[in-house]
Amino acid sequence: MEPRSLVSELRPFTKVHTGRSVWELAVTIAPFVALVLAMLVAINAGYIIALALVPVAGLLLLRTFIIQHDCGHGAFLNKRTSNDTLGRALGVLTFTPYDCWRRSHTLHHATTGNLDARGFGDVDTLTVREFQSRSRFQRLQYRFYRHPVVMFGIGPAYLFLLRHRLPIGLMKEGAQYWVSALSTNLATAGIIALLMAVFGIGTTLLVIIPTLLVAATTGVWLFYVQHQFEQAHWDKREDWTFHEAALNGSSYLDLPQPLQWFTGNIGIHHVHHLASRIPFYRLPRVLATFPQLRSHNRLTVLQTFKPLMLALWDEEKRRLVSFREAARASL
């Protein structure tokens, strides 16, 4: 499978079907809003058992983010302005300023697998040599950052509750990112304030925070295993090529239904990175047309546990390794 030639064969799949896009939006947003309101009403009336619906609401919010994600790639509606307008509106629900996220994500797509261009919209990854050259304190910091409890516990909460509300990163790059962050934050705060006025502060927080954390944690897990797997692809700039890194540096997470529906087929990530203009609802058709892609970098849910322990890129073995493997190899 030659990645560059495959791109031209995938071009017909980039056609947006507006009716289908509107349908996918409707069957995501309507149930999400209805479920959140139902939980608020039930809990306000004393039925705390309604919190059992939080996982479903969280997955619907994740699917909302996937639609926002497609808007960022210009892959959901036909016009760039329409995608951007919808993406900004959805960002109010997902707690994610659209313009800030889109810029970071664009850089992620442009530099995936490039060892000399790390740090944009990805999981920080050191090579074995870099890690060993760090001070004891720096190695401890990196170990802390890569620990699963931090990565999937503290990390998602930080990303979606604080990251775009602090004067760091893209906030230093220009006024448009401040406008994106502040307008999104104000709109989100307005909706939450309205819900608090109607249902009370405690009830609102009891529904909104867990729902957001379910979506955030699941999203971070998806993003992690899409690029942090044993046979991932990394190269120095002089050896790096976009198409090869896109296809070989991204996994195919083979999810069962209904998880594939809730995650907007984003598990078909190797295809997405190779042709990001393909609407998420057309990705399964690509696999049906090109069955060889079904086995390429394929991971099942059970197979995603091992990558959680991988933390360093071994340039000699050309694969991700755990801290323990790296330590043994250095003896």
Instruction: Please give the pLDDT value at position 94.
Output: 96
Question: Any idea what DSSP says for residue 34?
Answer: H
Residue percentage of the chain with pLDDT more than 90: 84
Residue 21 has pLDDT above 90, yes or no: yes
Residue 266 has pLDDT above 90, yes or no: yes
Tens digit of pLDDT for each residue in 175-219?
Answer: 778 788 889 999 999 999 999 999 999 999 999 999 999 999 999
- For residue 265, name the pLDDT band (cuts at 50, 70, 90): very high
| Average pLDDT of span 234-250 | 93
User: What's the pTM value of the predicted model, to 2 decimals?
Assistant: 0.94
Residue with tokens 């992690």: 224
Instruction: Please give the pLDDT value at position 170.
Output: 64
| Average pLDDT of span 57-81 | 98
Tens digit of pLDDT for each residue in 125-165?
Answer: 999 999 999 999 999 999 999 999 999 999 888 887 777 66
Residue 301 has pLDDT above 80, yes or no: yes
Return the closest-CA partner of residue 104 out of 182, 155, 161, 164. 164
d(CA 207, CA 51): 7
Instruction: Please give the pLDDT value at position 157.
Output: 85
DSSP for 245-277, written as a single string: HHHHTS-EE-PPTTHHHHTTTTTBHHHHHH-TT
| Average pLDDT of span 29-35 | 98
Instruction: Please give the pLDDT value at position 314.
Output: 96
d(CA 22, CA 74): 15
The domain containing residue 220 runs over which residues? 3-330
Residue 135 φ/ψ, nearest 5 degrees: -70, 165
Tens digit of pLDDT for each residue in 175-184?
Answer: 778 788 889 9
Strand partners, 268: 252
Return the closest-CA partner of residue 232 out of 291, 285, 273, 284. 273
Q: Is 166 exposed, middle or buried (0-12, 13-18, 19+ CB in 10 A)?
A: exposed
- For residue 57, name the pLDDT band (cuts at 50, 70, 90): very high
Mean pLDDT for the chain overall: 93
Tens digit of pLDDT for each residue in 80-124?
Answer: 999 999 999 999 999 999 998 999 899 999 999 999 988 777 899
pLDDT greater at residue 168 or residue 116: 116
- For residue 166, name the pLDDT band (cuts at 50, 70, 90): low
- Number of separate domains in the chain: 1
pLDDT greater at residue 79 or residue 122: 79
| Average pLDDT of span 296-312 | 95
